[in-house]
Structure 1
Amino acid sequence: MTDTSVLEATGLGKRYRRKWALRDCSLSVPRGRVVALVGPNGAGKTTLLHLAVGLLAATEGEVRVQGETAFLAQEKPLYSGFSVAEMLKFGRLLNPGWDDEFARRRIDELGLSLTSKVGKLSGGQRAQVALTVALAKRPELLVLDEPLANLDPLARHDVMRGLMGAVADTGMTVLLSSHVMSDLENTCDWLIVLNGGRVQVSGDIDELIAGHRVLSGPVDEAEAVARRVDVIETVGSSRQAALLARTEPVPLGPQWTDRPVNLEELVLAYLRRPDAANLPRPTLATA
């Protein structure tokens, strides 16, 4: 495992009876990144996260993690009968590296009372308490499975703002899954796309965006243009075609325009074409 990676998977797979939930998964999560894990329902996202934090045993391959890991499930498991103070005490007793000063300061900054019962809090407040418990462990890797599910837009924004503040303060690595691209576009800098239980895309988001263009022009010229670039997706009408292609800016005819893609366009184009992939080239060992 390299010093620049906090999580590495090699040939990782998980099978339930005859069905593979994850198969031949090889990836590396760089240290200090905020990683978006995206894919359709049933793609294997939760399985991958559970394997990474040790909640599941792999059927094949291996996954390795460096340093302390904290995991926050979609259900945000908290004891509803506990007060906020009791939840913090529970976290302190279970985690040797617990930062109690940080936890209490964060709860105070959120305007929450330590005497409030968890079960009486709003969904956004419970999410903030759960995130506080995870962050106070001072992990090197924080794994979040759909952390914003079932929250209203304001609560989603507040949770993500708190998370990004913690990342800026600590430099920890975050691996989070979400179905909402707008939650990820302005916060994440590394992308992993899972599709059909396999890794389809993995890389720096800025580099992925820079390496793809949307080319638009006459539909009767689209086939000729497609021979010059690696087309991921084609959308067209009777007159105009739009090609989302893996290419640097390329000179085209006067009737053609090109523009950068956005993250949502990129992800959806690959998900619609499961046979396409954009993965790092293998690193060759040298003597």
Structure 2
Amino acid sequence: MTAVLRAQGLTKMYGRHPGLIDADLNIPAGRVVGLVGPNGAGKSTLLGMTCGLIEPTSGTIEVLGDKPAANAAQLARVGFVAQDTPVYSGLTVADHLRLGAHLNKNWDDALARHRVQQLGMDPAQRAGALSGGQRAQLALTIAVAKRPELIIFDEPVAALDPLARRQFLQNLMAFISESGINVILSSHLLSDLERVCDYLILLAGSRVQLAGDVDELISTHHRIVGPEHAFRSLPPQIEIIGSEYSGQRTTLVVRRTESTPIPQSMHAEHLDLEELVLAYMTRAANASFDPQQGARALQFHR
């Protein structure tokens, strides 16, 4: 089955400033992908290259087996909802549907009109008079009625209140369930991503820090606690992601392969998704200031 997104050495430079560096990705089909990372990590750059809006400086990228925006047919296969859920304030809801039908060969007018009715939006109302949640729902309606194979969302719920955000995600989950569409969703709200995503990409410092199935990532990462001396015999196959020291006790966040057991003498527990993401973001932030970060933790492997 063709990968949704495949990248090798993907790099984008803005003058001397890196937007993304040496990204290697291979996202299988049928995934709902959560894209996370701090501001400036490269999320919008990656999404822009995936849509064909930004040209890479070097490396390669394929989306659904072809170059992004290679031709009209490829453009029709990808839907994109930008961060500000763009709609035209002077156009009515009905105008947006007519425009969508005019611009998209595979436009599903019945689906678009059904969603507008289901959401209780007045077709005659101008988009500028809609609430933030309604504008987001209109942008989602236009994206799904295009009937793409992949929809990309760049922070679509960042400005919404909790109720509007919940309704947006519920509608998105329902459409995913009905259509089996591929989705890439960028968000700072990890609780939202936990609800809908089964694949995670973490960017920090303009690099891919972590990528994989959420269940696998959770199963291979642990928090282990004990006295500092107990960690000197930690197997070298266990990668230390982060460490904290409190008095005589040490807490490590580690990654291991499934075949590498954690010594029974150590207390170990799984992390939730937020703890996992924060551990990698902290490591990347520390590395940007101190090339020798983690040196003390690595002493346990001597």
**Alignment TM-score > 0.5, same fold:** yes
Q: Equivalent residue of 2:135, what SS?
A: helix
Aligned residues of 1:219 and 1:238 also touching (Cα < 8 A):
no
Deviation at 1:156, TM superposition (A): 0.8
Distance 1:232 1:172 in 2: 34
- The number of residue pairs the alignment matches comes to 272
Distance 2:97 2:208 in 1: 37
Q: In terms of mean alpha carbon deviation, does 137-146 or 25-34 score higher? A: 25-34
Q: In terms of mean alpha carbon deviation, does 131-140 or 230-239 score higher? A: 230-239
Aligned residues of 2:234 and 2:263 also touching (Cα < 8 A):
no
Map 1:4-83 → 2, pairs under 5 A: 4-66=2-64, 68-83=77-92
Matched, 1:168 2:177: yes
Deviation at 1:230, TM superposition (A): 2.1
Deviation at 1:213, TM superposition (A): 1.1
Deviation at 1:225, TM superposition (A): 4.1
Q: Equivalent residue of 2:196, what SS?
A: coil
Q: Equivalent residue of 1:5, what SS?
A: coil
Distance 1:267 1:226 in 2: 23
Give the aligned partner of residue 128 of structure 2.
119
Q: Name the structure where helix makes up a greater proportion of residues.
A: 2
Closer, same or farther: CA 115–188 of 1 in aligned 2, 3 Å = same
Q: 2:270 aligns with which of 243, 255, 260?
A: 260
Deviation at 1:239, TM superposition (A): 3.1
One-letter amino acid matched to 1:10 = Q
Aligned residues of 1:219 and 1:237 also touching (Cα < 8 A):
no
Give the aligned partner of residue 96 of structure 1.
105
Matched, 1:269 2:260: no
Aligned residues of 1:34 and 1:175 also touching (Cα < 8 A):
yes
Q: In terms of mean alpha carbon deviation, does 31-40 or 228-237 score higher? A: 228-237
Deviation at 1:250, TM superposition (A): 2.1
Q: Identity rate of aligned residues, in percent?
A: 48
Give the aligned partner of residue 117 of structure 2.
108
TM-score by length of 1: 0.90
Aligned residues of 2:199 and 2:211 also touching (Cα < 8 A):
yes
One-letter amino acid matched to 1:108 = Q
The unaligned stretches of length 5 or more in structure 1 are: 277-287
TM-score by length of 2: 0.86
Aligned residues of 2:244 and 2:250 also touching (Cα < 8 A):
yes
